[in-house]
Structure 1
Amino acid sequence: MLKSVLVVAAHPDDEVLGCGGAMARHLARGDHVHVLILAEGVTSRSEQRDRSAATEQLSVLAAAAREVHDRLGSTSLAMLDFPDNRMDGVHLLDVVKAVESHVKMTEPDIIYTHFPGDLNIDHRIVSEAVQTACRPQPGNRLRQVLFFEVPSSTEWRMSGNSGFVPNYFCDISSTLDRKLAALGSYALEMKDWPHARSVTACEHLARWRGASIGVAAAEAFVVGRMLDTLFMT
């Protein structure tokens, strides 16, 4: 049975960093993959949030995101305008309502989102908003919530974090090239090796996660919720 998948990410590039290979696998099997990006991803580079001064960068990043998802073949892409790396200044309920709207619209079987212990504040808020928006309710078709890792954020948290200890893996041996190509389209966001958010580092991580389970490449997740439907009537 084909699935409806919703990827909820804080910034353009997080979705590919965290689960680009899994997205490509879902799309290859015919699943519907919807992507929701909540923050604009640029204005934190200035001391004050000034969209007018960042118009060109915002346009470039939005165009890159559209190019990435056109190439991947994503079913839909929604990009909102929450403030980059300032989402702690937004009422959590506003973020929850935005997520709830897309959950209602896409009716996902599976949601991929940020690990709640990331260093990046936006990542943590998005993860909490997803958990709140996805409270178990009778009749809800959601069966899996999976938390992904984002290089240069998940592993940089020094304290107050139980640590990213993956217990769910997706074999992306056949889709790693598509993930790396998509990251290449996010040139504004990617760094040079040996930065943790370089294309080379992301390939090394995928290879290591793959070696951890005996395949050529993998993405790793922490299970937030997993409902076994095998014995459900």
Structure 2
Amino acid sequence: MSKKILVIAAHPDDEILGVGATIAKHVQYGDSCTALILGEGMTSRYDKRDLADTSKLEELHKDTFQAGKIIGYEKVYLENLPDNRFDSVDLLDIIKIVEKYIDKIKPDIIYTHHGGDLNVDHRKTYEAVLTATRPIESDCVKEIYCFETVSSTEWNFEYSNLFVPNYFVDITETLESKLKAMKYYKSELRNFPHPRSIDNLIASAKKWGSVVGKKYVEAFEVIRIIK
């Protein structure tokens, strides 16, 4: 039986970096996959948010939709919260956005950020998702997984909250789709040895693959599974 999958990410490209190849695999299985991207992206690179180049922001969002098509997302929603400023937004407001989409999509499975990431938007996204999916009787979400976001997860050295995956997805057949999708994010990709480079995405998949005896893997932390 096909399942409904919802990826809840903070920024454009996180929905590819953290879980792109796994979503491509869900699509192969016939699952319905949707991405909710809470933040607008990019505007934190300017001294003030209102100084951001709107044409570049529009181009980023076009890249988002193109990348989503490569992976097989049926729909990508953008909510345009202020980039790297989620801590300036009441957490309750973020929770209500997440609740709105959970009610709309009724996902069986949610993928979202690791709660110990260096990036404040990732942490606030994680908090909002966990609050919005409190396991009350009417909750539709049966599985929640946290993904690694290169250039954020590994840069936090708070040892009490490191990313320690315990669920691994073999992406040997779908890694190429993830890499192809990321190439659409021209403003977000960097050259190796930056973590957000094609070479490093391959290296990361190899690293997690070596942990479980596979060629290429995406790794996750299990937050909840209800059977």
Q: TM-score range by the shorter chain?
A: over 0.9
Residue in structure 2 matched with residue 120 of structure 1 by the alignment: 119
Matches within 5 A, 1:76-95: 76-95=75-94
Residue in structure 2 matched with residue 10 of structure 1 by the alignment: 10
C-alpha displacement at 1:53, in angstroms?
A: 3.5
Q: Aligned letter for 1:204? A: A
Residue in structure 1 matched with residue 74 of structure 2 by the alignment: 75
Separation in structure 1 between the aligned mates of residue 75 and residue 143 of structure 2, nearest angstrom: 20
Between the aligned residues of both structures, percent identity stands at: 44
Q: Aligned letter for 1:93? A: L
Where does the alignment leave 5 or more consecutive residues of structure 2 unmatched? none
Residue in structure 1 matched with residue 166 of structure 2 by the alignment: 167
Separation in structure 1 between the aligned mates of residue 105 and residue 20 of structure 2, nearest angstrom: 19
Indicate the SS of the match to 2:154. Answer: helix
C-alpha displacement at 1:161, in angstroms?
A: 4.1
Separation in structure 2 between the aligned mates of residue 76 and residue 104 of structure 1, nearest angstrom: 15
Residue in structure 2 matched with residue 22 of structure 1 by the alignment: 22
Residue in structure 2 matched with residue 43 of structure 1 by the alignment: 43
Residue in structure 1 matched with residue 54 of structure 2 by the alignment: 55
Q: Aligned letter for 2:25? A: R
Residue in structure 2 matched with residue 147 of structure 1 by the alignment: 146
Residue in structure 2 matched with residue 131 of structure 1 by the alignment: 130
C-alpha displacement at 1:71, in angstroms?
A: 2.2
Indicate the SS of the match to 1:185. Answer: coil
C-alpha displacement at 1:160, in angstroms?
A: 6.2
C-alpha contact (below 8 Å) 2:21/2:71 kept by paired residues:
no
C-alpha contact (below 8 Å) 2:70/2:180 kept by paired residues:
no
C-alpha displacement at 1:35, in angstroms?
A: 0.4
C-alpha contact (below 8 Å) 1:42/1:54 kept by paired residues:
no
Q: Aligned letter for 2:119? A: N
C-alpha displacement at 1:197, in angstroms?
A: 1.1
Q: Aligned letter for 1:97? A: K
C-alpha displacement at 1:16, in angstroms?
A: 0.6
C-alpha displacement at 1:191, in angstroms?
A: 0.7
Indicate the SS of the match to 1:6. Answer: strand
Indicate the SS of the match to 2:223. Answer: strand
Q: Aligned letter for 2:32? A: H
Indicate the SS of the match to 2:44. Answer: helix
C-alpha contact (below 8 Å) 1:149/1:220 kept by paired residues:
yes
Separation in structure 1 between the aligned mates of residue 84 and residue 178 of structure 2, nearest angstrom: 24
Q: Which runs of 4+ in 1 moved over 4 A?
A: none
What do the CA deviations read for 1:136-182 (whole angstroms, capped 9, x no partner)? 11132211100000001001012264211100111111100001111
Q: Aligned letter for 2:129? A: V
Indicate the SS of the match to 1:155. Answer: coil
Residue in structure 1 matched with residue 177 of structure 2 by the alignment: 178
Count, aligned residues: 227
- TM-score normalised by structure 1 residue count: 0.95
C-alpha contact (below 8 Å) 1:7/1:35 kept by paired residues:
yes
C-alpha contact (below 8 Å) 1:61/1:188 kept by paired residues:
yes
Indicate the SS of the match to 2:23. Answer: helix
- TM-score normalised by structure 2 residue count: 0.97
Change in 2 beyond 3 A, CA 1:161/1:82: farther
